Amino acid sequence: MQIDVFNGDADGICALIQLRLAKPVEAKLITGVKRDIQLLEQVMVQAHDSVTVLDISLQKNRSALDRILEQGATVFYVDHHETGEIPNHDRLKTLIDTSAHTCTSLLMDQYLGGKFSTWAVTAAFGDNLISSAEKLAHRLSLSVSQLNLLRDLGVYLNYNGCGSVVSDLHFIPDILYRELVAYTSPFDYMAANDSSYQQLLAGYAEDIVKAQLIKEEYRTSAIAVYRLPDEAWARRISGVFSNELANKMPARAHAVISYNAHGGYQISVRAPLVNKIGADELCSLFASGGGRKSAAGINHLPYDELSLFIAEFEKKYP
């Protein structure tokens, strides 16, 4: 049996789209909201099963990965998050790069020899890797209007993956993936004018306007902290709002706080774009935290630890 495990954001979805367009196979899909980073715990295998893992931290899934390998499955792991020590196993193939300038879909694009690069550009925009997306787009000779379309779609797909629980989202990620993988390029999907595309466009436009009305709760010359209300729209927009803040104020680090479904805070952190380091280290100080050097998050921060987080935030970006 083939099992495809992927992050429910733009990067995870677009990476799997590329792989399955190039290598079609019937697979069991395991995914979730963007913050569901321990997806391998859901994977049950038998000997000779094949597992593909896309866009989730190996470090956060190490014990489940060890179990899957011990049970006789073969694993192909593609990612750009924290790894910890990568196990040396003859049934594990990894394609991992933790550079702040790449993402899982860009790695998949390289692996496949650029067969479906427009999906990789879309994902890179979704991960706010603007310069990397534009660099690949330039090699594809895309027009400005085409570039803008891919940028917007990447943002919309990333936006759809954010939320504390699946019910916060417009579309369950595996259902959205099944719709998108029918199209060789994102331009074909957008040209089809499917209702999903229109709903993502309209939902994003409505939610970002609400977020832009929020003022910072705490600010220094180096950091800014925003708190969103305890509503589904706020949980949906938290990640892309964080990216927007980073793009508008590239010399400043940002943290966007929203409320999760478990009686605590969910936090999105963006390192300054002029110095894209430290976000993963900061968030990893907390039990449910992790991510990338430039963008990371904490899935559950108890209310009484917010002041501790802000103190560590200031310490990381003085």
Is the pLDDT score of 164 beyond 90? no
Contact present, 266 and 300 (Cβ < 8 Å)? yes
CATH of the domain at 221: 3.10.310.40
pLDDT, tens only, 44-91? 999 999 999 999 999 999 999 999 999 999 999 999 998 999 999 999
Which of residues 176, 201, 226 is at a domain's end? 201
245 and 139 share one domain: no
By the 8 A CB rule, do 159 and 43 touch?
no
17-37 pLDDT, tens digit each: 999 999 999 999 999 999 888
The whole-number average pLDDT for the span 139-152 is 97
Query: DSSP strand E in the chain: where?
Result: 2-6, 28-30, 50-54, 74-79, 92-96, 218-219, 223-227, 253-259, 265-270, 289-291, 295-301
d(CA 56, CA 49) in angstroms, rounded, equals 20
The alpha-helical segments, DSSP class H, found in 7-82 are 10-22, 62-70
228 and 278 together in one domain? yes
Q: What is the number of domains present in the chain?
A: 2
Mind listing the pLDDT tens digit for each residue in 172-182?
999 999 999 99
User: Would you state the pLDDT for residue 47?
Assistant: 96
Average pLDDT over residues 9-21: 98
Query: Computed from CA positions of residues 48, 51, 57, 60, in that sequence, does the dihedral angle turn out positive or negative?
Result: negative
Q: By residue range, what is the domain housing residue 275?
A: 214-316
Nearest in space to 263 (alpha carbons), one of 302, 304, 297, 237: 302
Shared domain check, 152 and 44: yes
148/26 same-domain check: yes
Is there a single domain that holds both residue 178 and residue 221? no
Q: Which amino acid is at 251?
A: A
Q: How far apart are the C-alpha atoms of 315 and 307, rounded to whole Å?
A: 12
Tell me the CB-side half-sphere exposure of residue 225, using CA atoms within 13 A: 19
CATH number at residue 69: 3.90.1640
Closest by Cα among 60, 47, 42, 61 to 4: 42
